[in-house]
Amino acid sequence: MSLDAVLHPPVLPLDSGRLAVDGLHTLYWETCGHPAGLPALFLHGGPGAGCSPTSRRFFDPQRYHVVLFDQRGAGRSTPLGETRANRTDLLIEDIERLREHLGIERWLVFGGSWGSTLALAYAQAHPQRCLGLVLRGVWLGSQEEIDWWLHGMRQFFPRAWEAFAHAVPPEERGDLLAAYRRRLEDPDPAVHQPAARAWSGYEWACLQLIPQPETQAALDDPALALGVGRLEAHYFAHQAFLAPDQLLAGMPRIAHLPGVIVQGRYDVVCPPRYAHALADAWPGVDLRVVADAGHSSMEPGIAAQLVAATDRFAREGRFR
């Protein structure tokens, strides 16, 4: 099964624009699909990864009106890699500002990895604006998950972790996050770009059950590497700007909403136990564990389940 066989056909944006959200940040946004279709919001991962043309293809363009945007500091939003005024609560405000700008009352919220974190935080802040949630590769923003990313993934990808750790001097390896933040936030490209490549390369080496060459080819994009490296380190250092257990504790606010969770059984980046913990706190959610997948939405088994979820919701307003 190929990725193209399970995704909807490529589409071009219907409209696009830029939305200034403060004196520093301007967001890139676009819409695609049918103007009168079911509204849906796509939240990219990272933080810092930005959207891509493939992001549009999880939705039937005849049934959905999809909104995609690059979050603060990511993708085509400016300034790239900016960590000032970049917090979860401000991203939630940005989503509401964009919704109002586009005149949308309620929408289906779709997010994977960090996008699942932001989707949950947004839905809990504004449950009345959500029709339902489609989540993939759940990340709850806990210190335990951050420590796993920084150190635990070496149990499965020791060589990738060694390359990540050895990109900083031995005397700084006792605090890899601090060592990387110093480099990633340095204004000199000769300092921050190698750090960004090493940070992103570590994560991307661990994304898939069966690594694909095109995933590693993404490392050739210095803007993508910088957005991911700088913003992930920034959010890690602040525990995703969430209180401990905030998202699980807030589930009663959205327990009435329909939801589906798509999780790779062999997801090393965001281990399945957190998807199961979320499902335990969400009566009625449809948890779909993909037996032959890791973390990436570009793995055919995960993509197929995501498309099946959005297709059914468009037809029936439910996931199962």
* Burial classification of residue 239, based on how many CB atoms lie within 10 Å of its CB (0-12 exposed, 13-18 middle, 19 or more buried): middle
Catalytic, out of 70, 94, 267, 286: 267
Cis, peptide link before residue 79, omega less than 30° from 0: yes
* Rounded-to-10 torsion of CA 55, 57, 59, 64: 90
Helix (H, G, I), strand (E, B) or coil at 132: strand
Q: Answer positive or negative: Cα dihedral of 52, 57, 61, 67.
A: negative
Residue 267 annotated to the active site: yes
Among candidate residues 77, 113, 116, 297, the one labeled active-site is 113
Q: Indicate the DSSP class of residue 131.
A: E
Q: Is there a catalytic annotation at residue 25?
A: no
| Cα separations in angstroms, 115 against 80, 94, 138, 185, 220 | 18, 14, 9, 23, 23
Catalytic residue list contains 116:
no
Helix (H, G, I), strand (E, B) or coil at 72: coil
β-strand partners of 155: none
Cβ atoms 47, 71 nearer than 8 A: yes
Q: Report the Cα 294 to chain-centroid distance in Å.
A: 15
Beta carbons within 8 Å of 163's beta carbon, 6+ residues apart: 198, 201, 202
| Selected catalytic residue, list 70, 295, 296, 297 | 295
Rounded to an integer, what distance in angstroms lies between the CA atom of residue 299 and that of residue 290? 10
Q: What is d(CA 146, CA 233) in angstroms, rounded to the nearest whole number? A: 10
Q: Hey, which residues are catalytic here?
A: 113, 267, 295
